[in-house]
Amino acid sequence: MAEGSFEPGMGLTKREVFAMAAMQGMSSNPEFYGQSVDFAKNIAVDCVKFADALLAELSK
């Protein structure tokens, strides 16, 4: 594999890996717990947005 290339682990795309990392970080923040009935949905949507933003920046 060439240096700097990406080999998706466990069949995940870069977008999924980045969203997963964002979700791990955000959900580990105790200030978020119990703020909303839709906590999981809201955090999932935001994490995908973070992943998309990171991919856009990396493509520049």
**What's the confidence (pLDDT) of residue 37?**
73
Range of the domain at 54: 11-58
What whole-number distance in Å separates Cα of residue 46 and Cα of residue 21?
12
**What's the confidence (pLDDT) of residue 35?**
66
DSSP secondary structure string for all residues of 2-49: -TT----GGG--HHHHHHHHHHHHHHT-GGGTTS-TTHHHHHHHHHHH
What's the number of domains the chain is made of? 1
Give the global pTM: 0.72
Q: pLDDT tens digit string along 4-53?
A: 555 655 688 999 999 999 999 988 887 765 667 788 888 899 999 999 99
**What's the confidence (pLDDT) of residue 19?**
95
CB burial class (10 A; 0-12, 13-18, 19+) of residue 42?
A: middle
In this structure, what are the phi and psi dihedrals at residue 47, rounded to the nearest 5 degrees?
A: -65, -35
The reply to whether 2 falls in a domain is no
At residue 55 the predicted structure's pLDDT band, cuts being 50, 70 and 90, is very high
The reply to whether 4 falls in a domain is no
Amino acid residing at 1: M
